[in-house]
Structure 1
C-alpha cells in the first residue's frame, strides 16, 4: 500500500483503493512485512460479538459513570435530553450502518466524506475525528481518576497525584495496543462484559430504592427548557461517542458489509437502554444536592442502596475496568482514521505504518497528545476539567458526523430512483435527515467556549492540510 498518491486536484482522479474491502486481498501495510508470521499472529479480524463489544465498550465507557453528576445541575430535564439524544444516536447508528454496507473500508466518516466531497472534506473529517479521540482519552482518564480516589483516597490529596494517575490510566491501554489487535479485541470483550455488572446492578436494582424526593427540581439551570435540554445534551453526547466505532474499524471486521451495521445498531440500542435506566436510578437514589458535587455517582448510588461503603468500592473497581477497556478501544480508533488518511496522502506518511495490525505511530502520537492535554488541564486548576474536555469533543465530533450524514444524503438524492424501493428510500432519507439535524443541534448546544476552542483545533488542521497538499503536489 502506498501512503501517498500523485493527484494534485481536490477531488480524486482515480478509483478509490479497496484494500480493506472483503473481496480484495489484504496486502501489507507500510512498514509491515506481509510474510511476517509474527505480524499475522497478532492481527485478527473481529467477528460480530467483538465488533458489538467494540461499539458498546466505546459507548459505555467513562462517560456514563460520571455524567449523572455532570448533568445534575440542570435538574431532571437532563433525562428528557437523554431521551432525545437516544433518538439521534440511533439515527446516527442506522446511517453509519448503511454507509458501511456501501463502503466497508477502515476510516469510517473520513472514507465517506472523501468519497463524496473530495480530499479536503475527507481531511477535515479525519482531523476533527482524531482530535475527538485523543481529547476523549484525556476526559476518560479524568473520569476514571474520580473512581480511583474511592479505592485510594490518598490519590485525591494532591493535583499532581491525580494527574499522575490519569497518565498511567492512558498509557496502560496504549501498551495493550502496541501488542496487536488480537490483544485489543480480548481486552475489549472482557472489559465490556465486566462493566455491565455495576451498570445493571444500579439500572435494575436502583429502581427498587427509587425515591422521588431525591430528584430535585425539573429545571435547575435558570435557562429555558429548550436551552437546558440543548446544554445538557451537549454534555451527554460524550456518553454516545463511539457509535461509529465499528465503521471506523471496518477493515478489521469480518464480513463488514453485514456485521458493521448490525454491530452498530445492536451496540447503540443496548447502550441506550442501560444509559437511560442507570441515569434514572442514580437520580432517584442519590440526593440532588449531593449528586451535583459527586465524583463517583454510581458508587454513591450503590452505597445508598446497600448501606456502608463496600458496594461503592465494588462499583469503583468495575468502573475502573470499564474505563480502562474504553480507553483501550478509543486508543485503537484514534489511530485508525489517521492511518486511512495517511494511505491516501492526506496525513503524514508515518501514520500509515502498522505493526501487528495496529497503526503504532498514530497510537504513540495520540497518547502523547492526550497526556499533554491532561497535564495542562490539571495545571490550570480548573474545577470542571471533565466538562470542559467533554464539550470540546462534542463540537469536534459533530464535524465528521455532519459530513458522514451529508454523504449519505448526497448518495440518496443523487442516486437512480427508478430502480430502488421508494419506501426504503424515504426511510433512509428521513433517518439521515434526523441524524444531520441532530448533529447541528449539538453544535448549538456545545456553547461558545467549546465552539471557540474546537474551531482553533480545526483551523490548525487547515495549516497541516496546506503543507501536506503542497508536499503531495511536489
Structure 2
C-alpha cells in the first residue's frame, strides 16, 4: 500500500496563516484611532479577544468534525442547508477579495514613506498596488507550499518590531512604575465607548477562520486546523493586547490622536529616537504577509465551492501542483478592478471604504458558524459538551454585538452582498437540474 503524500501546509504554516492574516496593517495604526477611548479601548480589546477565542474554539471543533475545504460554507451548509451555505460563502468570498484590495493599498501606503511620489502622482499608487497584488498572486499560483513559506517568513519578520515595542513598554514600567500608566477613571468608562472601540478592533482580528478554508492543502486537517486556529488566535490576540494597550496607556492622548505612525511616536516620545523608516518598512512587510495569506484564501474558497457544485466547475480546476490557478486569476482580476475604480480616492479613503465592506461580510460567516455548532450538536452530528454550548452561545452573542458596534451601514452592506449572490445560486441550481435531466 502506498503511503499517502504529505500535504503542503503543516501545523506551523497553518499557525502562520492565522497569525499573519490577523496581524496585518491594523496593529500599526489602531493606537491612533483608539487613543480617544483610553481605558474603554483596553476593555474593548479584552472583549474582542475573548470573542475571537470563542470563535476560534467554534471553528476548531467544526474543523475537527468536518475537515473539508470551504470553512464557513461547509459548516453552514451542514447545519442549515445548501442555500444558506452558499449565501454565507458568497459574501465571505467577496469580503476576502475586497479585504485584499484594502491590504494591498495599505502596503503601498506604507511604502510611500520611502517613495513620496506614490502619494503625490495621480494613479501611480493604484498601478503599484495592482503590481504588488499580482506578484503575490503569482507566489500563490506556484503552490500552497510557496505561499506557506512566504507566510511563515513574513509572520516572523512582522513580529520583530512588535516585540521591540512590547519590550520598550516593559522597560518603561520597570523604570517608572505604575505612575507611567494613564490613570484609571471609572467615571470615564461607558458602554458606548467600549462598543465604539470594539468596532475598531474587529477589523484587526478578522481571519480567525483562515486555516479552515484550505483544508484540502493541510496535512492532517482534523488535527492541525483546530490546533492552528486556537494557537494562532491566542498569539495574535496576545500581541494586539500587549502592543496596543502598552502604547495607549503609556503615551498621552495628545501624542497619539491623529498620528500617522503611532508606534513611531510612542518610541520617539519615550526617548527611543525617530524610527519612522524602520517601522514603515516592517509595516509594509506586515501588510504584504497578510495579503499573501488572504490571497491564498481568495483562491481556495471559490475552488471549494466549485467542487461542492455551487460554483461553476471551471473554478475548481487545479494545476499539476494542486493549485486553483483559475480561481486565483478571477479573484485577483476582481481586486484589480476594485482598486482601479477607486484610484481617484486618497489611499486612506480607499482603504477605509474597502475595510468596511470586508468587515461586513465576515460577520455573517462568524454568526452562522457559531449557530451551526449548536444545531449540529443538538442533532448529534458532532460532540457538544456543556462548555462548548456556552462558548458557542458567547460566540453568537459576540457576533451580534459586533453588528451593533460596527453600525447599520456595515450591516446594510453585509446584507446587500449576501442578496447579490441569490441570482448566482439560482442559476447554478437550474444548471444542475438540467444536467441531471439530460444525463
Question: TM-score, normalized by length of structure 1?
Answer: 0.83
Aligned to 2:416: 456
The 2-side partners of 1:330 and 1:383 are apart by: 20
CA drift of 1:464 comes to: 1.4
Map 1:55-134 to 2 at 5 A: 55-134=18-97
The 1-side partners of 2:97 and 2:8 are apart by: 24
The 1-side partners of 2:379 and 2:344 are apart by: 51
- Distance change (3 Å), C-alpha of 1:295 and 1:465: farther
In the comparison of the two structures, how many residue pairs are matched? Answer: 428
The 2-side partners of 1:47 and 1:268 are apart by: 17
The 2-side partners of 1:129 and 1:458 are apart by: 9
1:331 is aligned to 2:291: no
In structure 1, stretches of 5+ residues that fail to align are 1-23, 27-39
1:233 is aligned to 2:193: no
Whether the aligned pair in 1 keeps the contact of 2:172 and 2:180 (CA below 8 Å) is no
Aligned to 1:375: 340
Whether the aligned pair in 2 keeps the contact of 1:146 and 1:296 (CA below 8 Å) is no
Aligned to 2:262: 297
- Distance change (3 Å), C-alpha of 1:334 and 1:468: same
Aligned to 2:116: 153
Whether the aligned pair in 2 keeps the contact of 1:52 and 1:264 (CA below 8 Å) is yes
Whether the aligned pair in 2 keeps the contact of 1:285 and 1:305 (CA below 8 Å) is no
- Distance change (3 Å), C-alpha of 1:112 and 1:307: same
Whether the aligned pair in 2 keeps the contact of 1:388 and 1:450 (CA below 8 Å) is no
- Distance change (3 Å), C-alpha of 1:202 and 1:225: same
- Distance change (3 Å), C-alpha of 1:416 and 1:348: closer
Map 1:370-449 to 2 at 5 A: 370-380=335-345, 384-415=349-380, 425-449=385-409
1:358 is aligned to 2:318: no
CA drift of 1:144 comes to: 2.1
1:420-469: CA deviation from partner (whole Å, max 9, x where unpaired):
7xxx7100101111111111111112212222223222221112112222
In structure 2, stretches of 5+ residues that fail to align are 435-439
CA drift of 1:377 comes to: 3.4
CA drift of 1:113 comes to: 1.0
1:241-295: CA deviation from partner (whole Å, max 9, x where unpaired):
1111111122211111111111111111111111001112332455434433233
CA drift of 1:101 comes to: 0.7
Aligned to 2:432: 472
Whether the aligned pair in 1 keeps the contact of 2:67 and 2:215 (CA below 8 Å) is yes
Aligned to 2:126: 163
Structure 1 stretch 138-147 or stretch 281-290: which is displaced more?
281-290
- Distance change (3 Å), C-alpha of 1:127 and 1:450: same
Structure 1 stretch 325-334 or stretch 161-170: which is displaced more?
161-170
1:306-359: CA deviation from partner (whole Å, max 9, x where unpaired):
5443x2222222221121111111001112121111112111222112122221
Structure 1 stretch 58-67 or stretch 429-438: which is displaced more?
58-67
CA drift of 1:390 comes to: 2.4
Map 1:334-353 to 2 at 5 A: 334-353=298-317
1:281 is aligned to 2:246: yes
CA drift of 1:218 comes to: 7.9
CA RMSD in angstroms comes to 2.9
Question: TM-score, normalized by length of structure 2?
Answer: 0.89
The 2-side partners of 1:467 and 1:51 are apart by: 35
3-state SS of paired residue (1:150): coil
Whether the aligned pair in 1 keeps the contact of 2:87 and 2:419 (CA below 8 Å) is no
3-state SS of paired residue (2:112): helix
3-state SS of paired residue (2:207): coil
The 1-side partners of 2:327 and 2:37 are apart by: 38
- Distance change (3 Å), C-alpha of 1:410 and 1:314: same
Whether the aligned pair in 2 keeps the contact of 1:235 and 1:390 (CA below 8 Å) is no
CA drift of 1:169 comes to: 2.9
The 2-side partners of 1:401 and 1:454 are apart by: 12
Map 1:8-27 to 2 at 5 A: none
CA drift of 1:388 comes to: 3.0
- Distance change (3 Å), C-alpha of 1:460 and 1:151: same
- Distance change (3 Å), C-alpha of 1:66 and 1:370: farther
The 2-side partners of 1:127 and 1:294 are apart by: 37
CA drift of 1:416 comes to: 8.4
Aligned to 1:45: 8
3-state SS of paired residue (1:236): helix
- Distance change (3 Å), C-alpha of 1:416 and 1:354: closer
